[in-house]
């Protein structure tokens, strides 16, 4: 990992994303129940990675999670409206 500049460290296991093939992106905006935006990247190997923001700063999950698109949608749509973008 190289840090180019800046004082604040972006949290998350970002290096695990290198080489992954994204098959879907699930996005949700903040709403009255949850004050943070979320993006889940779903990969071809059945894993996903969450990126979130509460104040404009970016955070990432601490690791890749086992979970395909159906599992991510089950988690995300429980209380929120989401957008789904899938590879053709």
Q: Domain boundaries in the chain? A: 14-86
Q: Which portions of the chain are predicted below pLDDT 70? A: 1-12, 31-35, 56-57, 62-63, 77-80
- Dihedral sign for Cα atoms in the order 5, 2, 11, 20: positive
- What is the per-residue pLDDT for 77? 66
Share the mean pLDDT of the chain.
76
């Amino acid at each position: 990992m190289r840090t180019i500049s800046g004082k604040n460290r972006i949290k998350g296991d970002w290096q695990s994303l290198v080489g992954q093939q994204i098959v879907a992106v699930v996005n949700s905006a903040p709403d009255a129940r949850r004050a943070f935006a979320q993006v889940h990247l779903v990969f071809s190997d059945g894993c996903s990675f969450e990126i979130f923001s509460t104040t404009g700063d970016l955070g990432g999950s601490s690791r890749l999670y086992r979970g395909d698109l159906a599992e991510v949608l089950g988690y995300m749509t429980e209380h929120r409206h989401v957008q789904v973008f899938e590879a053709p």
